[in-house]
Amino acid sequence: MTREAFAESVHVRAPGKINVYLGVGGRHDDGYHALATVFQAVSLYEDVIATDAPDFTLSVTGVDDPSTVPVDDRNLAMRAAKMLASATGYEGGVHLELRKSVPVAGGMGGGSADAAAALVACDALWGTGLSPQRLHELAARLGADVPFALHGGTAVGTGRGDQLNPALARGRFDWVLVTSEAGLSTPEIYARLDAHRTEIGALADDPPMSLDVPIPVLQALRAGDPHSLAASMFNDLEVSALLERPALDDIINEGLHAGALSGIVSGSGPTIAFLCETPDSAQYVQGELQKNGRTALHVHGPVPGARIIS
């Protein structure tokens, strides 16, 4: 098949994620921490439109401050496109248009979603036809959260968070997200956790390098029971995100006061994710938080991973 047989432009949508559970263990020599996490993909999406072009270029819309998102090789989507080209011997380029909805540096894996979407879009645009397994391998090389953005749904991540296994989840979970204008740096939040653990003497001489997700979290997901999930949600990074930004605690209290079942820092923050009992209660919680001047979004999960829209 000649290249001309393929579309000139491919539109892919990939979801942001919440870490319903995030346990952090010891730090490996390469700087990554041992993790046990449960990701859930939620209905807040990144759109990536890949268009045939002689060179590699990228543009971004949907962000308040364009300077927060690099448009060069520091952009994970750009790296994804170039990695796919070099892995497959593709000699042309691509223009990537990123339409962002996931908050930048918000702890929801927006950059990882862009990278997963760019892989899927370029694979279709260039007709490189990689197997799902090869796409997964490239995704894992780009970043620990990228494979999940490719697969979506609900999944357990172990190792550095990149060893994925689907988790059974029944029904739908309703979440209210409160986003913040200024992001938090993921490496700084991990470093702050290590410093905090040293300070309080909680850094074991021999920290666990392999962790498991507690059974009650998996049971709650399998049962589709928001009450049990609310009782078992946990994030080891929450303490360091709150040390870095104490005002996040006020947001958590406001959401609980409005009737959310539980509120948790998403990933490395600063987005706060509130689990609600029903779609109606989520709408109410969203309204109350908005009345307090918060930017609150009602989303649901699980939703599928990166997929072609057109």
Indicate which residue of 17, 100, 114, 174 is catalytic: 17
CB-based contacts of 155, cutoff 8 Å, min separation 6: 38, 39, 148, 164, 165, 166, 167
Query: For 284, how many CA atoms within 13 A lie in the half-sphere containing its CB?
Result: 12
Sole binder of ligand ATP in the list 38, 42, 49, 77 (CB under 6 A): 77
Nearer to ligand ATP, 53 or 71 (CB): 71
Footprint (CB under 6 A) of ligand ATP, residues 94-133: 98, 104-112, 114
Footprint (CB under 6 A) of ligand ATP, residues 133-162: 145
- C-alpha span between 153 and 40 (Å, rounded): 6
Alpha-carbon distances of 65 from 232, 295, 305, 308, rounded to whole Å: 36, 16, 27, 28
Nearer to ligand ATP, 105 or 252 (CB): 105
Q: Is 186 in the site for ligand ATP (CB under 6 A)?
A: yes
Distance of CA 14 to the CA centre of its chain: 10
- C-alpha span between 162 and 140 (Å, rounded): 6
Q: Is 17 a catalytic residue?
A: yes
- C-alpha span between 248 and 57 (Å, rounded): 36
Q: What angle do CA 5, 11, 15 make, to 5 degrees?
A: 145
Nearer to ligand ATP, 81 or 104 (CB): 104
Q: Is 145 a catalytic residue?
A: yes
DSSP 75-136: SHHHHHHHHHHHHHT--SEEEEEEE--SPTTSSS-HHHHHHHHHHHHHHHHHT----HHHHH
Binding segment for ligand ATP (CB under 6 A), chosen from 74-82, 205-213, 224-232, 279-287, is 74-82
Binding segment for ligand ATP (CB under 6 A), chosen from 35-43, 71-79, 88-96, 211-219, is 71-79
Binding segment for ligand ATP (CB under 6 A), chosen from 68-76, 81-89, 153-161, 203-211, is 68-76
**Closest separation in Å from C-beta 63 to ligand ATP:** 8
Footprint (CB under 6 A) of ligand ATP, residues 259-278: 267-268
Q: Is 305 in the site for ligand ATP (CB under 6 A)?
A: no
Angle between helices 76-88 and 132-142 (to 10 degrees): 130
Nearer to ligand ATP, 111 or 302 (CB): 111
φ, ψ for residue 96, nearest 5 deg: -105, 120
Indicate which residue of 47, 145, 162, 236 is catalytic: 145
Residue at 247: amino acid letter? A
Sole binder of ligand ATP in the list 70, 93, 159, 214 (CB under 6 A): 70
Residues taking part in catalysis:
17, 145
**Residues in the site for ligand ATP, rule: CB under 6 A?**
68-70, 74-77, 98, 104-112, 114, 145, 183, 186, 267-268
